[in-house]
Amino acid sequence: MRSHPAEYDFASPGSLAGVLERLDSEPGEWLPVAGGTEVMVQYGAGRLRARRLLNLWNIVDLRQITETSEHLSIGGGCTFAQLRGHVSVQEHFPLLAQAASWTGGIANQNRATIAGNIVNASPAADSPPALLVYEAELELISARGTRRIAYADFHLGYKKTALQPRELLLAIHLQKRFAGWFRYAQKTGARNAQAISKICVAAVGKLRDGRVEALHIGMGAVAPTPLRLRKTEEALLGTILTEDAIANGRRMLLTEIAPIDDIRSSAEYRRQVAANLLEDMLRNFAAKGNAA
């Protein structure tokens, strides 16, 4: 343990209003912490710059999953264990349930929250590709009100997000409109469990008369932020998934991603595997068409 606990302030307002008030009166001073699976790692390693922490764990308002016939709203404080076990998430957003099961080991899934994963903004996180392809909307809240933002617009650059210092990620909103769509998800890590992704991909799509009518592709660990592959999608829309179309998709993908060499993998590997996974996805898409 490389930090001194006496050097850290820790406040537990106990309610959402209390948390927001603290964030509002001293913006940028307080680092919200929920399950601690990221913040406490930094703290243990002596790398946590924030000295004042604001407790979000078990704030009831943040842990609800609510739904209507058309929408599902996930409170930012929901854990991955909660997500992967939730019947509606499994039914309507299976790629998200899958991503939740890939995130860390069982004990960490009991603590790590979806909002923490999003706000931490690691380009290699497992859930963002699924959120991107489901075109999630984020609801941000501050003492002054709430605002909604498309998740696709949330990540501004490496570890930079649209979240303001006074704000908290209140909820993730999803539309139940993917029933019957083709879906695909893959993760490659250094091992089968508890691995940070070298590449993760999620995709949903629809074919009509053998042509691509809709296609959303999200990828992690191939750019400074989680990436929605708009250009690749664009290139494939309206096409029949022939060998040429697939090869074209590979080419477009390689213009769109910008992976790096880091301690977990190489840029070269990531480019190759990203393209392989895209190709695999497209072949499955062509073969299976609409899943349901």
Q: Give Cα separations from 80 to 83, 90, 124 (angstroms).
A: 5, 12, 16
Centre a 10 Å sphere on the Cβ of residue 135 and count the other Cβ atoms it contains: 18
Name which of residues 119 to 138 contact another protein (CB under 8 A).
none
Window contacting another protein (CB under 8 A); options: 21-29, 130-138, 189-197, 247-255? 189-197
In whole angstroms, how close is the CB of 222 to another protein at the nearest point? Answer: 14
- Using the rule CB under 8 A, which residue among 17, 60, 87, 107 binds another protein? 107
DSSP calls for 109-171: HTT-BHHHHHHHT-TT-SHHHHHHHTT-EEEEEETTEEEEEEGGGTEEETTEES--TT-EEEE
Residue 41 or 156 having the CB closest to another protein: 41
- The answer to whether 90 contacts another protein (rule: CB under 8 A) is no
What are the respective helix, strand and coil percentages of the chain, to the nearest 5? Answer: 35, 25, 35
Residue 61 or 213 having the CB closest to another protein: 61
3-state secondary structure of 72: strand
- The answer to whether 188 contacts another protein (rule: CB under 8 A) is yes
Per-residue DSSP letter, 248: H
- Using the rule CB under 8 A, which residue among 192, 243, 287, 292 binds another protein? 192
Strands 52-55 and 9-11: parallel
Residue 196 or 212 having the CB closest to another protein: 196
Window contacting another protein (CB under 8 A); options: 37-45, 90-98, 173-181, 212-220? 37-45
**Closest Cα partner for 288 from 203, 209, 202, 182?**
182
In whole angstroms, how close is the CB of 116 to another protein at the nearest point? Answer: 12
Residue keyed to tokens 């710059």: 49
Residue 46 or 165 having the CB closest to another protein: 46
Are the C-beta atoms of 30 and 54 separated by less than 8 Å?
A: yes
Strands 71-75 and 168-175: antiparallel
Name which of residues 248 to 267 contact another protein (CB under 8 A).
263-266
In whole angstroms, how close is the CB of 74 to another protein at the nearest point? Answer: 19
- The answer to whether 31 contacts another protein (rule: CB under 8 A) is no
Which residues of this chain interact with another protein, rule CB under 8 A?
A: 1-10, 12, 33, 35-37, 40-41, 43-46, 53, 55, 57-58, 81, 104-108, 110-111, 186, 188, 190-196, 198-199, 263-266, 268-269, 272-273, 276-277, 280
